[in-house]
């Protein structure tokens, strides 16, 4: 699949009462949580994770968030990255955790990366959608965004929405809205499944594999000691006017363009996986 440059597109903007946008200082906002030195904060605005045959690496945010827009620019592992996975996601703790996932599945040189997305609520996932990208994600930094409010979750790439997961609690589907989540990222070896179902193994002669991060931005509500910086408790959101961002007609058209041209897997279309009928939230897609 040939790569082409993407045009400049509008990036979603969230306005949160009493809280402005935070542009990160990586030294203050994140901790390298594992990897024995393979994760490095290079300066206030750039961080790298590396993977070799001994170990990968990872980091997490010091803050927990409940709703907002999270932006991060990533430049993925170049060349033959088959078997590697770069995961970038929001996650809470516990056995009934919530999670919002970007995962980038490595490739053989010249093949496109697969962007894997998933949403977990109350410990239940199985809501995968996968995409190719319309550019080479290893040649430069691109912005990967999660917009999360009580009505919907929108995954975007360079301001272009690629997926919308709507609140379907009226259909009995739990939605992530009560558990604060931290930002996590990791680079790790998954050659038992990641590339062509595990058929292509990691070529360790190409190690170390390195992914780069910059320009983190959070327009979001920070939760500490059960209280939200936007006011009220973490569970109720207080009395603030909560975010109501949704896709306008132009963004809906861009979403359909991506899904028609670049989506390669949709759990809501996998009849072999769901022979008794698709999950109820698929009716809202």
pLDDT in tens, 151-184: 999 999 999 999 999 999 999 999 999 999 999 9
Whether residue 108 contacts residue 247, with contact meaning beta carbons closer than 8 Å, is answered with no
Residue 5 lies in a domain: no
Structural domain includes residue 149: yes
Name the helix (H) or strand (E) containing 259: helix 249-261
Does some domain include residue 273? yes
Say how many domains are in the chain. Answer: 1
- Is 234 a residue whose pLDDT tops 90? no
Q: Report yes or no on 189 lying in a domain.
A: yes
If you average pLDDT over residues 243-254, what whole number do you get? Answer: 91
CA distance 21 to 2: 36
Rounded Cα–Cα distance for residues 68 and 15 (Å) = 9
Question: Average pLDDT, stretch 103-113?
Answer: 92
What's the CATH number where 138 sits?
2.60.120.200
The answer to the question of residue 10 being in a domain is no
Mean pLDDT, range 8-15, rounded to an integer: 35
pLDDT band at 103 (very low <50, low <70, confident <90, very high): very high
Q: Report how far residue 241's alpha carbon sits from residue 133's, in angstroms, rounded to the nearest whole number.
A: 35
Question: DSSP character for 78?
Answer: P
Return the higher-pLDDT residue of 161 and 194.
161
Q: Confidence class of residue 100 from pLDDT cuts 50, 70 and 90?
A: very high
**261 vs 6: which has the higher pLDDT:** 261
Nearest Cα to 157, choosing from 71, 36, 266? 71
**Catalytic option among 29, 103, 246, 253:** 103
Residue 41's φ and ψ, nearest 5 degrees, are -90, 110
| The predicted structure's pLDDT at residue 194 | 85
Within-domain flag for 6: no
**Mean of the per-residue pLDDT values for the chain?**
88
The mean per-residue pLDDT over the stretch 259-269 comes to 98
Choice among 29, 99, 128, 253 that is catalytic: 99
Which phi and psi angles does 280 have, rounded to 5°? -60, -30
β-pairing verdict for 114-120 and 99-105? antiparallel
Name the band, by pLDDT with cuts 50, 70 and 90, for residue 8: very low
| Per-residue model confidence as pLDDT tens digits over 36-88 | 999 999 999 999 999 999 999 999 999 999 999 999 999 999 999 999 999 99
**Across 15-29, 72-86, 108-122, least confident range:** 15-29
Cis omega (within 30 of 0) on the bond before 208?
yes
Lowest mean pLDDT among 19-33, 39-53, 268-282: 19-33
Is it the case that residue 21 has pLDDT exceeding 50?
no
Predicted confidence (pLDDT) at residue 239 exceeds the cutoff of 50 = no
- Range of the structural domain that residue 214 is part of: 22-284
Active-site residue 128, yes or no? no
Q: Is 169 a catalytic residue?
A: no
Look at residue 40 and tell me if it is in a domain. yes
Would you place residue 229 in the very low, low, confident or very high pLDDT band (cuts 50, 70, 90)? confident
Residue 144 burial (C-beta neighbours within 10 Å; 0-12, 13-18, 19+): buried
Task: Quote the pLDDT of residue 23.
Answer: 60
């Amino acid at each position: 699949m040939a790569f082409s440059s993407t045009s400049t597109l509008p990036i979603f903007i969230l306005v949160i009462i009493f809280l402005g946008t935070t542009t990160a200082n990586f030294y203050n906002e994140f901790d390298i949580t594992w990897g024995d030195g393979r994760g490095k904060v290079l300066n206030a605005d750039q961080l790298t994770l590396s993977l070799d045959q001994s170990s990968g690496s990872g980091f997490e945010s010091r803050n927990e968030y409940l709703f907002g827009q999270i932006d991060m620019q990533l430049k993925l592992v170049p060349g033959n990255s088959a078997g590697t996975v770069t995961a970038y996601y929001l996650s809470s703790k516990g056995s009934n955790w919530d999670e919002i996932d970007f995962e980038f599945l490595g490739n053989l040189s010249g093949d496109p990366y697969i962007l894997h997305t998933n949403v977990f609520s109350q410990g239940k996932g199985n809501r995968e959608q996968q995409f190719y990208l319309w550019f080479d994600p290893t040649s430069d930094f691109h912005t990967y965004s999660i917009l999360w409010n009580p009505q919907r979750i929108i995954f975007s790439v360079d301001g272009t929405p690629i997926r919308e997961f709507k609140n379907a609690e009226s259909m009995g589907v739990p939605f992530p809205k009560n558990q604060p989540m931290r930002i996590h990222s990791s680079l790790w070896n998954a050659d038992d499944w990641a590339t062509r179902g595990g058929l292509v193994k990691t070529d360790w002669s190409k190690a170390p594999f390195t992914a780069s991060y910059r320009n983190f931005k959070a327009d979001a509500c920070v939760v500490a000691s059960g209280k939200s910086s936007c006011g009220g408790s973490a569970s109720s959101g207080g009395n603030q006017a909560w975010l109501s961002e949704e896709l306008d007609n132009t963004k809906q058209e861009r979403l359909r363009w991506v899904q028609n041209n670049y989506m390669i897997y949709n759990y809501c279309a996998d009849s072999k996986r769901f022979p008794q009928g698709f999950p109820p939230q698929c009716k809202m897609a």
